[in-house]
Copies of this chain bind each other. A is one copy, B any other.
């Protein structure tokens, strides 16, 4: 069961220049939406980031080649099969899908980017995907974000959509996005995917820089189990339909407002993945302040966020602060003066100068731990850097989901 506010927004703004469709192609299961096609206006700029996993899936390899060669016009996403660990045959199948979509739409094959999510190591039924393309292309619509968000899910329990409108100096900008994933890696369903579009007019190089920076604050700051998928991809499209005014540098007067709104949408989509984390019953924000560098803040935040002992303590609503201190202690921060470290859970200070806080009570600790949303704030008191990571607890259901998955 997902944690906290996971509602789909009441208003999902269509993005001029983007059309989506979803169909049931029967890739793995019959009668289940499993194929999404996204059409991108030829005016658009597109930015992409992909998994760092050396065992990246066949579609990720094809995507990288295509993206290097041409501006994308179509994205094609299948669920049910990740087409990972499938060697040269898998790559050929990903290429076949792109070629089939290209021939039906009159574009070059390298303007099509493929995405797959699902079981690893089984041959992708690319024939079924190709057979589903006609139906998908017949149903393209700017209003299909919600349906498409459902169509890219695997074992997620909720569709993940965020949408915003901002007005900057009289220009309306719209941003809508969707994501999927319930772990950084979803067992056999091994993928975190994110697609965000805006009608802002942003120069391609700047768009890629913005995506990289925003990704570091959103999808790259979540962890359910510390595993990184073979298929993770994130796409940001700027269709340019909102204005002829091109945002071409960080100094442009519209830049900061658009950047901030995009960041909000990305953070929301990333947090939705954690809120729908496998077996999650708590949503935790690990905020580290007072570091010498962002890197060491991030190391500490991840050590805490990924500690099975911390995560099980949160599942148990047990204010077991010794586990948090221990994780801070092994995060590898050089010359950490532990006697300066302070730790709070929401408004309750639990650790002051490296020991239990003077006015801390177990009752106060357990009261805050019983809430579904908890911010763990760790102050290293040695600098001005800060970083934040989002995670969830580790429950019986995490083990159950991942142990039972293929049975």
* A119 contact set on B, CB distance < 8 A: 322
Pick the most buried of A312, A326, A394: most chain B CB atoms within 10 A of its CB.
A326
Which residue of chain B has the shortest Cβ distance to A318 in the bound complex?
B406
A225 to B399, CA, bound (A): 14
List, sorted by A's number, 21 A–B pairs whose CB atoms are closer than 8 Å: A52-B330, A54-B338, A55-B326, A84-B322, A85-B354, A85-B355, A86-B355, A183-B309, A185-B326, A190-B326, A227-B326, A227-B327, A230-B329, A308-B394, A313-B402, A315-B399, A315-B403, A316-B402, A316-B404, A318-B403, A396-B400
A193 to B72, CA, bound (A): 58
A187 to B318, CA, bound (A): 12
Q: Is A323 an interface residue (CB 8 A)?
A: yes
Which residue of chain B has the shortest Cβ distance to A228 in the bound complex?
B330
Interface size on A, residues (CB 8 A): 64
> Which residue of B120, B307, B320 contacts A406 across the interface (Cβ within 8 Å)?
B320
A241 to B306, CA, bound (A): 47
A85 touches B351 (CB 8 A): yes
Query: How far does the Cβ of A57 sit from chain B's closest Cβ, in whole Å?
Result: 10
- Bitwise, A328-369 to B at CB < 8 A (1) or not (0) is 111001001011000000000001011110000000000000
B329 touches A53 (CB 8 A): yes
Number of copies: 2
Interface SS of chain A: helix, strand, loop or mixed?
loop
Q: Is A13 an interface residue (CB 8 A)?
A: no
Q: Is A253 an interface residue (CB 8 A)?
A: no
Known pairs A227-B308, A321-B121; A336 contacts B54 (CB<8 A): yes
A87 touches B355 (CB 8 A): yes
Which residue of chain B has the shortest Cβ distance to A329 in the bound complex?
B55
B188 touches A322 (CB 8 A): yes
The 6 closest A-B pairs by CB, nearest first: A120-B322, A55-B329, A316-B403, A312-B402, A53-B329, A228-B330
A329 touches B56 (CB 8 A): yes
Pick the most buried of A53, A87, A329, A407: most chain B CB atoms within 10 A of its CB.
A329
